[in-house]
Every structure is written in C-alpha cells, then in structure tokens.
Structure 1
C-alpha cells in the first residue's frame, strides 16, 4: 500500500501512474481538498479537518511493506518507526539513519522563519529533476 499525505503533495499524479503500472493500492489521505480519482486502485481517505488529522491517520495505519509519501518530518519519523519506507516528493528516502538530521533541519528552518517575520521565500521550488528523482525512488521502493 502507498500512503500519500495528499493535501499539498506535488506528486499525486506520479504516484497514481506508478501504482497503476505496478497494480499497487494507494490511499490519498486529506482533509477533503482533493478530487477523487476514478482509478479503482486509488482510495480517497477524507479525515476531519484540523491540524495533523491526515498525519495521524497515516501514522496509525502504515507499517512494514508500505510506502509513505510526505514532506512532513514528524509524520515521517512516526512512519519510519512503524517500519514503512518513507519518501519525500523530491525522491529523498527518509530512514532511521537520516531522520534525526531531517527533524533538526526542519526545526532550524522554523527558528529562522520565526526570527525574521519579513523574510520572503527561501526555499527552492519543485523542479522536473525532483519529480524524476521521486519516480525513480518510488519504483525502487516498490521493487
């Protein structure tokens, strides 16, 4: 099963394409802001609106053999601990070995944003190369 933290995920179409080719079920978990897919392998899971409801659902249901797609580092840490393979939309795989660093970088970025409320942007955009790396990483994770 592939679990997608779908509210702001930029690679939903790529997940659906790979899942269809490999005949793997997908749960697109969101607060309801995404259009359901007619693909029978793609299940739209709508959770209550509220902070982290989609994250809670994914963390409670994923486990060994599953792939989770998320940019949310606290959710990623829970899924790694549950034994799932975790991929960021840019193709980076999160593991027990690099999860601590990823959480620390998230906290540092939050501190920098809080220290300068007038700071604009700062993050790099999502590129075609990121999308390509994600497709390759998802294929590798499903093998």
Structure 2
C-alpha cells in the first residue's frame, strides 16, 4: 500500500497529518503537484513535480496508484476513477469516497457546475478550519488502521 497526495490544492494542515501518519506507520507516500512542495527528509516521503496543465497531476496519480492504495484528493472526477480502480479516495475534509456515494457526489458537482455556468451565484464550501482537520485526521486514521491490520 502507498499513499498518494494530490498536493497542489491540499491544505498544509492535511499534508502535515499525512506526513505524521506515513512516518509513524512507515507507509511510502508520494506528493504529486505541478508546483514545488517542500517535504521533510524521509525515507518514506517523495515528491513528483508534473508539468503545469489541466489534470496532469490527476493523470499521474491515476496512472501510478494501485488497488488498495490511498489517495487524498479534492477532485471528485479523479475520486470516481480511483473508486472504480479499487483505490481508497479521501477528501481533505475526511469524506471517504465509495462506490455507494461517488455517483451522488459527481451529480452534485455537475449540477453546481451547470448552475455556475448559467451565471447563478452558488457560493462555495465553507472555509477550511480546525474541525475539518480533526475530521480528516480521524477518518484517515480509521482507514489506515483498517488497511494495516493483519
């Protein structure tokens, strides 16, 4: 099992949670982004810088992750492809995307996108806060505990 981080839009606090867990459990973890990401020196952490462009980091993660890996991403279309590939996808607010909820998330995303395209003000998600970090940390810990148990 490996952990992959879609790192360009991932909040720093979430990256820190992942780094601590990866170090503690000795799980190889790769951060993928089109902008440089500073990581602590570690035998389990790595960084891949991809060229700038639409969905380049997403494509890299999708091409290199394997069944049973864990990916942290905010990108719902990427999450849908990961779920189909039997990869565990989690967003930075701690929601675990599954076969039972990904279709609903995609439909809502598409609906909101068409509303914005029609000029309707839809707002966005609430600002990221400490409660979100706690929700993510708890969800991430539960998932890793489940996956690393013999």
Same fold (TM over 0.5): yes
1:121, CA displacement in angstroms?
A: 4.0
Larger displacement relative to structure 2 (3-12 or 57-66)? 57-66
Match of 1:86 in 2: 89
Cα shift readout 1:30-63 (whole Å, capped 9, x = no counterpart): 0123224322211001112111010001111112
| C-alpha distance in structure 1 between counterparts of 2:76 and 2:97, whole Å | 9
Match of 1:16 in 2: 19
Give the TM-score, by structure 2 length: 0.88
Structure 1 stretches of 4+ moved >6 Å:
none
RMSD across aligned C-alpha pairs, in angstroms?
1.5
| C-alpha distance in structure 2 between counterparts of 1:21 and 1:96, whole Å | 29
Tell me, yes or no, if the aligned pair for 1:76 and 1:94 is still in contact at 8 Å. yes
Structure 1: runs of 5+ lacking an equivalent: none
Structure 2: runs of 5+ lacking an equivalent: 146-150
Give yes or no for the alignment of 1:26 onto 2:29.
yes
| C-alpha distance in structure 2 between counterparts of 1:37 and 1:31, whole Å | 18
Match of 1:53 in 2: 56
How many residue pairs match? The answer is 142
Give the TM-score, by structure 1 length: 0.92
| C-alpha distance in structure 2 between counterparts of 1:40 and 1:21, whole Å | 12
Tell me, yes or no, if the aligned pair for 1:63 and 1:79 is still in contact at 8 Å. no
| C-alpha distance in structure 1 between counterparts of 2:33 and 2:141, whole Å | 23
